[in-house]
């Protein structure tokens, strides 16, 4: 309702001022103003302060007004916690925090393992950014926080407003499971959602921007009673995401010239491991040991041609190549832009709408989860096309259901200080047979078979703040990296050599055969001779009747290893998460328990404390 001079006791100037002010007031502001005006009127009429208070508090309805207006205003403090294994969640959380600060919020940002859980009860606005690791597990720095929320010590949250951004990969069965866990548990404990959880696949830019805008809008609504800034916030957030991706990044990769491409395995090996050296000249890209390099690969041309032929499509037909409206030939789209080697349930669900074969819909029916999982495992888009014909889709319709071809990340195997304007990688070629056909690792075979010195690869640097050398160069380091997992430790030791680090270093390396599979053997021998590497223990599993792995070498050297731990050694693990990293973790617990005369629970707490101190770090996949 608009005030007018004719329907109110105000003059024209007052009416205009009030008409501009009143529509901007929230409900709580209107209630407060009502109480304030009533109190002011009572104060003018009462003979004393005591009478003022009595008159105000005893007046009809004022007690309710005072009760309402005495409630504390919504806090402008926002806590942003992240759980990150490779650094993506941390980068996104940092970006969000900057945007919130620009909106006038007071932001506390921290990794989940650095946040004191006994302070969680006091938090009013909580934003979680978390990835899912392995088979639905929390990343290392989110594990303790996850355990706390699911423990009996977790409090009830009467005043908590929260939202969760979950990062994951739809090719995994437990997609974004950690984010789902947090979202569900916070609700069970009484929290209220600021914005609905968003689950992000590998191509997450638009999803992240949308979630950030919703969160900022919801906070503005809650704090200011107005969502008018929501559109601006959305626009600003999208712009910020794009701005962060300027220069060279995942969405704008640098085309790096290949300087060398060498097979590290000896003649007769059943493995092929490529050592790539790439030029960064002119890119201004830099990196630190522990970071990763992203490569945007190409699919195998033979698989692309087989899919096109199976559909009897024209390879030169123009189709969309991304969600931004760009177009290209069908061959280019399948070669460079879309994932065609991995099947996921979301893909099959969309594909079922384009097929007249009822068998695909039956495979997706409730109760067929295990059958679906078995089918997806080891099959690709060509299998799907062949197994569930006939199809009722044009090329442009079919490619629209495919997800973007994701980059592949590899641990960097060089120190920038030792190799300025270069970056080195260690990539094992993946070849195998499944379901009657030869299969190939997308990026590894692209690099092994179709990239020569002088060619270029689109690349970007992926920072990993969770896998870093000690800030003290004199601290001892223990590095455990079988196979290609040894790559970052080559970078670690090159870096320490350049810095003149005095700290001791111990490398545990394993592979199949000493003669053919000892990656970077000459590098380790030189470093041992020069004192850069203090100790080297190796395990070659196929050279002995009984297989020996790195965890066995750890147990053999348990007493000395524990002495290093007591001296403050930092422990690093890189490689296979499902088997090696699990077995090494178990071996470390055994050593700590036996050599430290501790219980199993005390040994676990010892290793947890090392992780809290960033003395136990893992880069596992």
The model's pLDDT over 106-141, given as tens digits with 9 standing for 90+, comes to: 999 999 999 999 889 999 999 999 999 877 899 989
Class of domain 77-244: alpha beta
Contacts of 237-246 spanning 24+ positions with Cβ under 8 A? 237/99, 237/209, 237/212, 237/213, 238/209, 238/213, 240/95, 240/98, 240/99, 241/95, 241/205, 241/208, 241/209, 244/95, 245/205
- 18 within 8 A of 25, measured Cβ to Cβ: no
Task: Name 254's bridge partners.
Answer: 459
For 86-103, the pLDDT digits (tens) are: 888 999 999 999 999 998
Rounded to whole angstroms, the Cα distance separating 5 from 14 reads 9
Say whether the peptide bond before residue 390 is cis (omega within 30 degrees of 0). yes
* pLDDT over 60 at 69, yes or no: no
How far CA 484 is from CA of 79, 267, 402, 418, 490, in Å, comes to 38, 18, 30, 20, 11
What's the pTM? 0.80
pLDDT of residue 233: 47
- 271 within 8 A of 517, measured Cβ to Cβ: yes
Stretch 215-222: mean pLDDT, rounded? 90
**pLDDT tier at 29, thresholds 50, 70, 90:** low
Please check whether the two domains, 77-244 and 477-620, share a CATH topology.
yes
Rounded to whole angstroms, the Cα distance separating 103 from 99 reads 7
More reliable by pLDDT, 501 or 3: 501
More reliable by pLDDT, 6 or 225: 225
pLDDT of residue 64: 43
Phi/psi for 284 (5° steps) reads 65, 15
Rounded to whole angstroms, the Cα distance separating 93 from 76 reads 17
Question: Among residues 250, 254, 136, which one has the least CA distance to residue 204?
Answer: 250
- 61 within 8 A of 116, measured Cβ to Cβ: no
pLDDT of residue 3: 56
pLDDT of residue 534: 98
pLDDT of residue 186: 97
Query: How many other CB atoms are there within 10 angstroms of residue 560's CB atom?
Result: 12
Rounded to whole angstroms, the Cα distance separating 223 from 218 reads 9
- 141 within 8 A of 92, measured Cβ to Cβ: no
- CATH tag, 301-399: 1.20.990.10
* pLDDT over 80 at 459, yes or no: yes
* pLDDT over 70 at 315, yes or no: yes
- 82 within 8 A of 112, measured Cβ to Cβ: yes
Rounded to whole angstroms, the Cα distance separating 389 from 351 reads 11
DSSP string, 488-530: HHHHHHHHHHHHT--S-EEEEEEES-HHHH-TTHHHHHHHHHH
Return the H-helix or E-strand segment holding 129.
strand 125-131
Question: Among residues 165, 416, 115, which one has the least CA distance to residue 278?
Answer: 416
Stretch 223-231: mean pLDDT, rounded? 53
pLDDT of residue 597: 97
For 472-492, the pLDDT digits (tens) are: 999 999 999 999 999 999 999
**pLDDT tier at 223, thresholds 50, 70, 90:** confident
Q: Quick one: DSSP state of residue 431? A: E
What's domain 477-620's architecture? 3-Layer(aba) Sandwich (3.40)
pLDDT of residue 47: 40
Least confident window among 68-82, 311-325, 352-366: 68-82
**pLDDT tier at 52, thresholds 50, 70, 90:** very low
More reliable by pLDDT, 11 or 338: 338
Q: Any residues with CB less than 8 A from the CB of 163 and at least 6 apart, and which?
A: 126, 127, 128, 193, 194, 195, 196, 197, 211, 214, 215, 218
Superfamily of domain 254-297+407-462: Translation factors (2.40.30.10)
* pLDDT over 90 at 75, yes or no: no
- 423 within 8 A of 414, measured Cβ to Cβ: yes
For 351-365, the pLDDT digits (tens) are: 999 999 999 999 999
Query: What are the boundaries of each domain within the chain?
Result: 24-71, 77-244, 254-297+407-462, 301-399, 477-620
pLDDT of residue 173: 84
- 494 within 8 A of 469, measured Cβ to Cβ: no
Strand 254-263: give its sheet, edge to edge.
408-411, 292-295, 456-462, 254-263, 273-279, 422-428
Q: Is the dihedral of CA 339, 89, 75, 152 positive or negative?
A: positive
Question: Among residues 589, 594, 585, which one has the least CA distance to residue 606?
Answer: 589
Average pLDDT, the chain: 88
* pLDDT over 50 at 245, yes or no: no
Return the H-helix or E-strand segment holding 387.
helix 381-387
Mark 159-174 as b/e (b = at least 16 C-beta within 10 Å).
ebbbbbbbbbbbbeee
Q: Any residues with CB less than 8 A from the CB of 544 and at least 6 apart, and which?
A: none
């Amino acid at each position: 309702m608009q005030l007018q001079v004719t329907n109110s006791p105000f003059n024209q100037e007052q009416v205009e001022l009030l008409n501009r002010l009143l529509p901007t007031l929230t409900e709580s502001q209107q209630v407060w103003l009502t109480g304030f005006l009533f109190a002011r009127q009572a104060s003018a009429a009462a003979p004393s302060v005591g009478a003022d208070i009595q008159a105000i508090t005893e007046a009809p309805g004022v007690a309710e007004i005072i009760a309402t207006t005495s409630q504390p205003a919504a806090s402008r403090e926002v806590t942003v916690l992240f759980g990150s294994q490779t650094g993506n969640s941390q980068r996104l959380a940092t970006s969000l925090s900057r945007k919130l600060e620009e909106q006038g919020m007071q932001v506390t940002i921290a990794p989940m393992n650095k946040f004191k859980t006994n302070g969680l009860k006091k938090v009013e606005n909580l934003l979680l950014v978390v990835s899912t690791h392995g088979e639905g597990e929390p990343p290392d720095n989110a594990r303790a926080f996850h355990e706390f929320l699911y423990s009996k010590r977790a409090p009830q949250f009467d005043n908590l407003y929260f939202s969760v951004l979950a990062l994951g990969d739809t090719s995994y069965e437990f997609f974004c499971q950690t984010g789902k866990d947090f979202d569900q548990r916070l609700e069970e404990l009484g929290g209220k959602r600021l914005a609905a959880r968003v689950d992000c696949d590998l191509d997450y830019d638009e999803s992240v921007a949308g979630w950030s805008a919703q969160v900022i809008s919801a906070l503005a609504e809650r704090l200011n009673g107005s969502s008018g800034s929501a559109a601006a916030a959305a626009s600003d957030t999208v712009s910020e995401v794009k701005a962060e991706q300027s220069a060279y990044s995942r969405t704008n990769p640098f085309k790096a010239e290949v300087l060398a491409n060498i097979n590290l395995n000896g003649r007769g090996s059943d493995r092929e491991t490529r050592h790539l050296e790439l030029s960064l000249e002119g890119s201004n890209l830099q990196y630190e040991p522990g970071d990763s390099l992203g490569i945007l690969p190409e699919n195998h041309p033979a698989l692309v041609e087989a899919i096109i032929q199976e559909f009897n499509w024209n390879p030169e037909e123009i189709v969309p190549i991304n969600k931004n409206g760009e177009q290209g030939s069908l061959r280019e789209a399948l070669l460079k832009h879309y994932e065609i080697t991995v099947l996921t349930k979301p893909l099959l669900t969309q594909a079922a709408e384009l097929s007249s074969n009822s068998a695909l819909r039956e495979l997706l029916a409730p109760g067929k989860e295990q059958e679906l999982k078995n089918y997806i495992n080891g099959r690709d888009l060509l299998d799907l096309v062949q197994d569930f014909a006939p199809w009722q889709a044009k090329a442009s319709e079919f490619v629209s259901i495919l997800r973007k071809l994701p980059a592949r990340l590899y641990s960097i195997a060089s120190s920038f200080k030792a190799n300025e304007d270069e970056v080195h990688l260690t990539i094992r070629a993946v070849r195998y047979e499944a379901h009657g056909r030869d299969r190939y690792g997308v990026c590894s075979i692209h690099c092994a078979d179709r990239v020569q010195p002088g060619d270029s690869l689109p690349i970007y640097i992926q920072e990993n703040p969770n896998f870093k050398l000690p800030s003290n160069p004199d601290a001892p380091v223990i590095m455990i990296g079988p196979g290609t997992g040894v790559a970052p430790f080559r970078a670690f030791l090159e870096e320490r050599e350049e810095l003149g680090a005095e700290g001791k270093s111990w490398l545990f390396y394993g592979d199949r055969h000493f003669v053919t599979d000892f990656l970077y053997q000459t590098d380790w021998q030189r470093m041992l001779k020069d004192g850069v590497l203090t100790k080297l223990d190796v395990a070659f599993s196929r050279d002995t009747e009984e297989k020996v792995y790195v965890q066995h070498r750890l147990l053999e050297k348990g007493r000395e290893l524990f002495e290093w731990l007591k001296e403050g050694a930092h422990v690093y693990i890189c490689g296979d998460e499902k088997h090696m990293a699990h077995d090494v973790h178990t071996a470390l617990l055994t050593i700590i328990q036996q050599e430290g005369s501790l219980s199993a629970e005390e040994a676990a707490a010892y290793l947890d404390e090392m992780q809290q101190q960033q003395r136990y770090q893992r880069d596992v996949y």
